[in-house]
C-alpha cells in the first residue's frame, strides 16, 4: 500500500541515482515508528539532468519536503545549489543532508560525524592516538580525513594507489595531512593507532590484498567504511593479527541522526535493534 500521500507530518527523502537500494528509508522509518512520530521518509530517484529542477522545487516549497539526504552522484551539486552550506560542507565541497530553515535551504555533511560516532560507540578511546593511516583518496575518504583531523590527530597519512589524488587531499586538509604511495604503507603504519580503509577494496566479497598490520601500535584500531560484508577482508586480517576492529555499519546509522533531528524534531538513538534490522536486510539482498 502506498500511503505516502496520506502521511501526516514532515516529509523527507533520500535522493541519488540510483536511490532505490538505499537503506536510509529503513533507518528513518524505524525511528519514526519507535518514537511514535508522524512523518515519512522515502527514496526519491532523480537523474542528474533533473537535479536542478528538483532543488528549485525543494527551495520554493513546491515539493513539500522538509529536507532530505543526498547520495551519489548529487553530493557535489547539492553543495553548489544549497542556499547555506555549512563550514564542513564548504571544505569537503559536498553535502549529504539538507533542510529548510527560515525559508533557506541549508546543507551539511554528516559522514564525518557518523564516522566518529561509530568509533566512539564501539571503541571509545580510539582518539587517544596521534597518528592515523587512511587508505584511499576518493570521495569517501574526504569526510574521514576531516573528522580525524578535527578530533585532534596530529599526523594523518593518506595512502593511495594514485598518489596525486592523495596529494590533492593533503593540500585541501592542511599541514597535518601527508600523501603517500601504496609502497609507503608499512613505513607510515609505524606508530599509528588508527587504520581506516576508505577504498572499495574488499567490497561485496571481492578479494583484497594482504596487509601486514604489525607496524601499528599494539592496541591500534582498524576500521573500514565498507560494511558489505560486515567483516571485510581487511577487518578479518587485522583481527587475525590481534588488532581491535570496528565495522563500518555504524557510520551509516550515525550519519543519519542529525538529519532526522532536523526534519522530525527529535534526536534518534542508534540501537542494537536498528543495527540488527539493517543486518537482516543485508542478508536478504
Ligand atoms: P569513493 O567516492 O567511493 O571513495 P572513488 O572516488 O572511486 O570512490 O575512490 C575509490 C578509492 O578506492 C580510491 O582511493 C581508489 O584509488 P585510486 O585513487 O588510485 O583510483 C581506491 N581503489 C579502488 N580500486 C583499487 C584497487 N584495485 N587498488 C587500489 N586502490 C583502489
Question: Can you give the pLDDT of all 285 residues of the chain as single tens digits?
Answer: 444 455 789 999 999 999 988 999 999 999 999 999 999 999 999 999 999 999 999 999 999 999 999 999 999 999 999 999 999 999 999 999 999 999 999 999 999 999 999 999 999 999 999 999 999 999 999 999 999 999 999 999 999 999 999 999 999 999 999 999 999 999 999 999 999 999 999 998 888 999 999 999 999 999 999 999 999 999 999 999 999 999 999 999 999 999 999 999 999 999 999 999 999 999 998
Of all protein residues, the one whose alpha carbon is nearest to atom 21 of ligand 1 is: 199
Of all protein residues, the one whose alpha carbon is nearest to atom 9 of ligand 1 is: 138
Question: Which CATH number goes with the domain that contains 76?
Answer: 3.40.50.10860
Which atom of ligand 1 is the closest one to the Cα of 135? 14
* 284 contacts: CB under 8 Å, gap ≥ 6: none
Q: What integer pLDDT is reported at residue 235 of this predicted model?
A: 98
Q: What integer pLDDT is reported at residue 205 of this predicted model?
A: 82
Q: What integer pLDDT is reported at residue 178 of this predicted model?
A: 98
121 & 191 share domain: yes
Of 200, 211, 251, 252, which is best to mutate to test ligand 1, by the most ligand atoms within 8 angstroms of its C-beta?
200
118 & 240 share domain: yes
Q: Which domain holds residue 105?
A: 11-110+256-284
**pTM as predicted:** 0.95
- Enumerate the active-site residues: 75
38 & 162 share domain: no
212 & 267 share domain: no
Give the binding-site residues of ligand 1, using a 6 Å CB cut-off: 136-141, 160-162, 165, 198-201
At residue 76, φ and ψ (nearest 5 deg) are: -75, -40
31 & 104 share domain: yes
207 in any annotated domain = yes
Task: For residue 200, report the distance from its CA to the centre of ligand 1, in Å.
Answer: 6
* 106 contacts: CB under 8 Å, gap ≥ 6: 82, 83, 84, 85, 86, 98, 99, 100
85 & 121 share domain: no
22 in any annotated domain = yes
86 & 147 share domain: no
- Could you tell me if 246 and 223 are in contact, meaning their C-beta atoms sit under 8 angstroms apart? yes
149 & 243 share domain: yes
The count of domains in the chain is 2
Q: What integer pLDDT is reported at residue 29 of this predicted model?
A: 98
Amino acid at each position: 500500500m502506498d500511503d505516502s500521500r496520506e502521511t501526516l507530518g514532515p516529509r523527507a527523502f533520500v535522493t541519488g541515482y540510483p536511490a532505490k537500494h538505499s537503506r536510509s528509508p529503513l533507518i528513518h522509518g524505524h525511528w519514526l515508528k519507535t518514537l511514535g512520530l508522524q512523518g515519512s521518509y522515502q527514496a526519491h530517484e532523480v537523474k542528474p539532468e533533473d537535479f536542478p529542477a528538483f532543488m528549485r522545487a525543494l527551495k520554493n516549497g513546491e515539493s513539500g519536503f522538509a529536507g532530505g539526504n543526498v547520495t551519489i552522484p548529487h553530493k557535489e551539486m547539492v553543495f553548489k545549489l544549497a542556499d547555506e552550506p555549512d563550514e564542513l560542507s564548504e571544505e569537503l565541497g559536498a553535502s549529504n543532508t539538507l533542510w529548510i530553515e527560515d525559508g533557506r535551504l541549508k546543507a551539511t555533511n554528516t559522514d564525518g560525524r557518523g564516522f566518529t560516532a561509530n568509533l566512539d560507540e564501539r571503541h571509545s578511546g580510539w582518539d587517544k592516538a596521534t597518528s592515523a593511516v587512511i587508505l584511499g583518496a576518493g570521495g569517501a575518504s574526504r569526510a574521514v580525513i576531516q573528522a580525524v583531523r578535527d578530533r585532534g590527530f596530529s599526523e594523518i597519512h593518506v595512502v593511495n594507489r594514485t598518489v596525486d589524488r592523495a596529494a590533492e587531499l593533503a593540500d585541501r586538509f592542511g599541514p597535518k595531512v601527508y600523501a603517500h604511495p601504496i609502497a609507503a604503507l608499512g613505513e607510515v603504519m609505524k606508530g599509528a593507532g588508527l587504520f581506516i580503509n576508505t577504498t572499495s577494496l574488499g567490497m561485496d566479497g571481492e578479494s583484497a590484498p594482504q596487509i601486514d598490520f604489525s607496524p601499528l601500535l599494539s592496541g591500534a584500531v582498524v576500521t573500514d567504511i565498507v560494511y558489505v560484508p560486515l567483516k571485510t577482508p581487511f577487518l578479518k586480517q587485522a583481527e587475525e593479527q590481534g588488532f581491535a576492529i570496528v565495522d563500518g555499519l555504524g557510520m551509516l546509522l550515525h550519519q543519519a541522526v542529525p538529519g532526522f533531528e532536523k526534519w522530525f524534531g527529535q534526536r534518534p538513538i542508534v540501537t542494537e535493534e536498528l543495527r540488527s534490522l539493517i543486518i537482516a536486510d543485508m542478508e536478504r539482498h
